[in-house]
Amino acid sequence: MIEIVPAIDIIGGKCVRLSKGDYGSMKVYNENPLDVARAFEDAGCTSLHLVDLDGAKSKHIVNYRTLEAIAGHTALHIDFGGGLKTDNDVRIAFESGAEKITGGSVAVTHHAMFEGWLNRYGSDAIILGADARDGKISTNGWLHDSEEQIVPFIRQYMEKGVTHVISTDINCDGMLSGPSLELYRSILAELPDLRLIASGGVSAMADVEHLHEIGVPAVIVGKAIYEGRITMRELESFNTQHLC
């Protein structure tokens, strides 16, 4: 069964959401991300996708104290991303409690560094971020589009040992208009051994079911929960059935 991984995006130490990665669209949902993380844990979630949006924009880790607080006061398995551009950024993330980190921009601009992380920490700890707009990989908090096509980009890193990939269709992110099923179908058709984590566009539990039907093993859900499109009761019910 597909796993729902709730997302917490951080700006200024607060839980926020953007639309299509546009920082001007920021909406604050909670002043205390730890309270949000605890609510997800109470609903039966075991994993958390935590994104340092300040870090993504600043090109270095910023909100590691928030990571530290959540890791220190919950049992959630945290995947942390945003602003991880150097070996020191990654070291701080792991020392602050991340179980996994996601590297996106650095995998485009600094291949050797990303491969070094894979070799040092192992494929279970390093997730490739493959976020795309119109089929091309975007970087630096989605502020810049590269010429890298998504499937060849993922394939080259699978050959280096990557097994987990988070992929967001940026045009869907935060829009509550449904996930990019065609994108994920095409990725899985080309790369069937990949553990693909879908992200962006989920508006209701029906979208989660559609992703499950096409074989996606995990999905990150954010705005749909914060806007009440997926209730905490639905999330808890889903997790109860999933764990059983």
**Active-site residue list:** 9, 131
Q: Report d(CA 71, CA 55) in Å as an integer.
A: 18
How does strand 47-52 pair with strand 77-81? parallel
Q: How far is CA 167 from the centre of its chain?
A: 8
Cβ burial of 193 (10 Å; 0-12, 13-18, 19+) is exposed
Q: Report d(CA 197, CA 206) in Å as an integer.
A: 17
CA distances from 57 to 17, 28, 202 (A): 15, 17, 24
Q: Report d(CA 163, CA 102) in Å as an integer.
A: 12
